[in-house]
Amino acid sequence: MSETNMVVSRRQFCAGCCAALGTLASACGEGSPNSPSTPATTLPKLNGQLAGSTVRVNTSGTALDNIGGAALIESVGGVFLLSRTSTNAFGAIDATCTHEGCTVTGAAGDIYVCPCHGSRYNRTGQVVNGPAKANLRQYATSVTDGVVTISL
């Protein structure tokens, strides 16, 4: 075969790459929330208010009204992933991915997903899938009258 017969257009190259990536993604096991191929949905954002060494969040009328609900909390004191774990309990973890510092903004079921490189964490901040190797930091929480307090 001559060299001119081996030249591929940019369009052909990109189409081939996309087809190959699609094949690889389908081989990863779609359907499991722990699977890298399961798409993440963007978490709702709530504002937190810094008060001394705590961040306070009003959860009434939000995704956090229901057990299993989760939200991204943005505040001057930091950015957190907050989930409702039971009627009177919440879990708070740092939303900064330990891989390269991106903000974790999505979830696939009960797994948090970093939008930059796909690291996945469970609701307690433990790494489920890399490339991140370190867990997310956990914070103590308390709740009174629909206001969650995250202790920094």
Tens digit of pLDDT for each residue in 63-93?
A: 999 999 999 999 999 999 999 999 999 999 9
Asked if residue 45 lies in contact with residue 62, where contact means CB atoms within 8 angstroms, the answer is no
pLDDT tens-digit profile of 9-60?
555 555 555 454 443 443 333 333 444 556 789 999 999 999 999 999 999 9
CATH superfamily of 39-151: Rieske [2Fe-2S] iron-sulphur domain (2.102.10.10)
- All structural domains of the chain with their residue ranges: 39-151
Give the Cα separation of 27 and 21 in Å (integer). Answer: 10
Give the Cα separation of 61 and 130 in Å (integer). Answer: 34
Give the Cα separation of 50 and 59 in Å (integer). Answer: 15
pLDDT tens-digit profile of 86-140?
999 999 999 999 999 999 999 999 999 999 999 999 999 999 999 999 999 999 9
Asked if residue 136 lies in contact with residue 125, where contact means CB atoms within 8 angstroms, the answer is yes
